[in-house]
Amino acid sequence: MTTNRNVATSAILRAVLVLNLCFVCAVGWAQAQWSPDRPVEIVVGASPGGGTDITARVIQRILKDQGLVENSVVVNRPGGSHTIAWAYLNQHTGNGHFISIVNEPFVTNRLIGASKLGFRDFTPLTVLFSEYMVFVVRPDSSIKNGADLLARLKADPTALSIGFASAPGNNSHLSIGLAAKAAGVDLKQLKTVIFKSGGESLTALLGGHVDVGVNPAATAITHIGAGRLRVLAVTSPGRLSGPLADIPTWKEQGANFTYGSWRVAFGTRELGQPQIAFWEESFKRLLDSDAWKQELIKRHQETRFHSAADTRKFLEAEESRLRPVVQELGLVRK
């Protein structure tokens, strides 16, 4: 009898052990295969209708169409050069249901003292695209081309007003700084005017309130195509297509620099590896989709997939590259 009881007890213990192992494996499998189980919030640190907001809504649509994220909502938290949006994201540490999109302030905000937060305080996921900046004037402007613009600024950095949106240290401001730096212009003396939005800066240029505008090509392309603006130079390494095909690069005009303004997708801090893996794969499929590629063609943008680790390295390299520029612009905090 004792032997039979021992055998029965051993069988029960083995069964319990097997069940426990199955439970542990099931939990591990579920964690390894993380995916959203409620609506994803795509948080935008800008108002509806701007470039970042438009990008967020394109991502929302393609993620759904590709069957990657069925339910998502774009949440606009404008203000403070993305800092309001970042404060909101920081309330959801480790939560993979919150992602956001940002450009250069992800690197420059800490440098200029606009925020204590930067890319190291979140989880970079991928680089969505790079886009190039155009320097534009009214058709009747006496400024002939990019070389003429830099010659005038070198003679007198305060001679021309340069308008852009929407914060110090952003893509437009950095483009101005890089062009001026390449020509040996004193960056701190430049006469820059910052507007609340790209649309407002273009309206001011068209109305004669500033002499030069610096904008992403996608923002200005409608006015360029309609002949309301004339392009002096583009920051790309080679000539672009469509209405910009005949526009010389800065390098062609003697300013040895190129600049691609980027957009990065990121999540909250302390995301787990399964969450990172889900978003890496989702963004890889999004960037490979025909729908995304068509959007980039329309906006003269370029894309190449970066893993989360590569994205962090990319941002570290950008920080090193842009630090001296914001310093010469007089923006770095003391």
User: 283: Cβ–Cβ under 8 A, 6 or more apart, which residues?
Assistant: 125, 126, 128, 265, 305
Give dist(CA 269, CA 312) in Å, integer. Answer: 13
pLDDT computed for residue 79 by the predictor = 86
From the centroid of its chain, how far is CA 1?
74
Q: Give pTM, 2 decimals.
A: 0.81
With beta carbons less than 8 A apart as the criterion, state whether 281 and 203 touch: no
Mean pLDDT by 10 residues, the chain (334 residues): 56 52 42 88 90 93 97 94 94 98 94 94 98 97 98 97 90 94 93 90 96 94 95 96 92 94 97 98 98 92 94 97 90 76
DSSP conformational letter for 39: P
With beta carbons less than 8 A apart as the criterion, state whether 287 and 305 touch: yes
Residues 40-131+261-328, CATH architecture: 3-Layer(aba) Sandwich (3.40)
How would DSSP label each residue in 45-102?
Answer: SS-TTSHHHHHHHHHHHHHHHTTS-S-EEEEE---TTTHHHHHHHGGGTT-TTEEEEE
Q: Where are the domains of the chain?
A: 40-131+261-328, 132-260
DSSP conformational letter for 7: H
pLDDT computed for residue 21 by the predictor = 46
Give per-residue pLDDT as tens, 119-154.
999 999 999 999 999 999 999 999 999 999 999 999
Fold entry, domain 132-260: D-Maltodextrin-Binding Protein; domain 2 (3.40.190)
- φ/ψ of 173, rounded to 5, equals -65, -40
Q: Tell me the chain's radius of gyration from C-alpha atoms.
A: 25
Q: Do the first three CATH levels of 40-131+261-328 and 132-260 match, i.e. the same topology? A: yes
Tokens of 262: 């980027």
Tokens of 26: 């099931």
pLDDT computed for residue 31 by the predictor = 45
With beta carbons less than 8 A apart as the criterion, state whether 34 and 40 touch: no
Count of CB atoms situated within 10 Å of the CB of 91: 9
Mode of pairing for the β-strands spanning 191-195 and 161-165: parallel
pLDDT computed for residue 241 by the predictor = 86
